[in-house]
């Protein structure tokens, strides 16, 4: 693999190079015949090339123009690589899926990992599963339970729409340049629409954002003007509780009981 491309700090680039962890990620994806794989941020192809060898076809989304030609050259003869040169936050995954479910994989850029997660959530209906590598601290927040110090908006939003399963930790030395933090690989499996039970996704998202906007406030104060005593009662929630004490199902009940904005 070529190493002439210098990682760009502005793009949050940390390139994975350690074979053992690359193999574990490919094993976690475990592509099957007929799967439609889409990789976000292929970088220098550490995960791309093994997946292509294994599966024969892959679509990648890469924002860094300098990486496009090297990727195409390295993939030659390995399989069918389709390169989408685009900011992932502007990708319409529903259109990309074209009516068939897709599987996402990627070492997400650290500086925009949360926006990417919220963006792919909007397209969860066409995504079969996602295997992502992110900062371990972000994965901890994604999988956190109520009452945890790191349970927050990200935890609730992701767990409402997906099953979240942390898989393994990846140390800084597995990357070039080494990040200052541990990373972790996580699997997200979107829930069937009927299982989610959210009547109005926009109302749910707004309520969760407001509830965690000022963590020290009680739900009654944080959601003043959004929910009244009757809504809390209908949802079976104590208005004196704080957002980090409420489980995902509680937020869904409250959003479904609250009036439309």
At residue 92 the predicted structure's pLDDT band, cuts being 50, 70 and 90, is very high
Nearest Cα to Cα of residue 48 among 63, 62, 64, 32: 62
The mean pLDDT of the chain is: 92
**172-208 pLDDT, tens per residue?**
999 988 889 999 999 999 999 889 999 999 999 999 9
- Is pLDDT of 89 > 70? yes
- Is pLDDT of 261 > 90? no
Question: What's the confidence (pLDDT) of residue 131?
Answer: 98
Separation between Cα atoms, residue 223 and residue 249, nearest integer Å: 17
Binding-site residue positions: 14, 16, 41, 62, 87, 107
Question: What's the confidence (pLDDT) of residue 12?
Answer: 45
Question: What's the confidence (pLDDT) of residue 15?
Answer: 80
**134-143 pLDDT, tens per residue?**
999 999 999 9
- Is pLDDT of 259 > 60? yes
Question: What's the confidence (pLDDT) of residue 260?
Answer: 66
Question: What's the confidence (pLDDT) of residue 3?
Answer: 42
Of the chain, the percentage scoring pLDDT greater than 70 comes to: 94
Task: Kindly give, in sequence order, each residue whose CB lies less than 8 Å from that of residue 142, ignoring residues fewer than 6 positions away.
Answer: 117, 134, 154, 155, 158, 159, 164, 166, 186, 188
Binding-site residue positions for S-adenosyl-L-methionine: 14, 16, 41, 62, 87, 107
Q: Which domains does the chain have, with CATH numbers?
A: 9-195 (3.40.50.150), 201-257 (1.10.8.100)
Give φ, ψ of 170 to 5 degrees: -125, 120
**217-246 pLDDT, tens per residue?**
999 999 998 999 999 999 999 999 999 999
- Is pLDDT of 105 > 90? yes
Separation between Cα atoms, residue 52 and residue 79, nearest integer Å: 6
- Is pLDDT of 4 > 50? no
């Amino acid at each position: 693999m070529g190493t002439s491309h210098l990682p760009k700090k502005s793009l949050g680039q940390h390139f994975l190079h350690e074979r053992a962890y690359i193999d574990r990620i490919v094993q976690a994806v475990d592509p099957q015949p007929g799967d439609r794989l889409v990789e976000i941020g292929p970088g220098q192809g550490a995960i791309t090339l093994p997946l292509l060898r294994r599966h024969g076809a892959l679509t990648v989304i890469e924002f860094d123009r300098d990486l496009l030609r090297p990727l195409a050259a390295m993939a030659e003869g390995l399989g069918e690589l389709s390169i989408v040169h685009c900011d992932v936050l502007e990708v319409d995954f529903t259109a990309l899926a074209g009516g068939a479910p897709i599987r996402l994989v990627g070492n997400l850029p650290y500086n925009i990992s949360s926006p990417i997660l919220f963006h792919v959530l909007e397209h969860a209906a066409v995504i079969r599963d996602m295997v992502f590598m992110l900062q371990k601290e972000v994965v901890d927040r994604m999988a956190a339970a109520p009452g945890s110090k790191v349970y927050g908006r990200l935890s609730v939003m992701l767990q409402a729409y997906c099953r979240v399963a942390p898989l393994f930790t990846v140390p800084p030395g597995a990357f070039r340049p080494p990040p200052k933090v541990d990373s972790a690989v996580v699997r997200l499996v979107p829930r069937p629409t009927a299982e989610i039970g959210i009547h109005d996704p926009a109302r749910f998202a707004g309520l969760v954002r407001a509830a965690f906007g000022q963590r020290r406030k009680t739900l009654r104060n944080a959601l003043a003007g959004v929910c009244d005593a009757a809504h809390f009662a209908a949802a079976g929630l104590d208005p004196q509780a704080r957002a980090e004490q409420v489980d995902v199902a509680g937020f869904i009940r409250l959003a479904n009981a609250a009036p439309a904005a």
